[in-house]
Amino acid sequence: MDKAAGIVPATQAPTGAGLDLRPMLRRLELHVTHACNLACESCSHYSNQGHKGHISLAEAESWMSAWNGKIRVACTSLLGGEPTVHPDFPQFIPLVRRHWPRTQIEIVTNGFFLSRHPALPALMREAGNCVLFMSIHHNDPAYLKRVEEPLALLQEWREKEGMDARIRPAFKNWTRRYTGFGDGMKPYADGDTRKSWEICPSRWCKQLYDGKLWKCPPLTYLPLQAEKYNLSAEWDPYLAYEALDPDCAPEELAAFLKLEDEAVCGMCPSHPRHFELPNPMLRAKG
Question: pLDDT tens for residues 42-90?
Answer: 999 999 999 999 999 999 999 999 999 999 999 999 999 999 999 999 9
Mean pLDDT, residues 254-271: 96
pLDDT of residue 251 exceeding 50, the answer is yes
CA distance 118 to 114: 8
pLDDT of residue 261: 97
pLDDT of residue 86: 98
Domain spans of the chain, in order of start? 7-283
Question: pLDDT tens for residues 185-208?
Answer: 999 989 999 999 999 999 999 999
CA distance 193 to 183: 24
Model confidence at 4, pLDDT cuts 50, 70, 90, reads very low
Domain 7-283 listed as CATH 1.10.540: no
Model confidence at 1, pLDDT cuts 50, 70, 90, reads very low
pLDDT of residue 17 exceeding 60, the answer is no
Model confidence at 284, pLDDT cuts 50, 70, 90, reads low
Rounded to two decimals, what is the model's pTM? 0.91
CA distance 31 to 37: 15
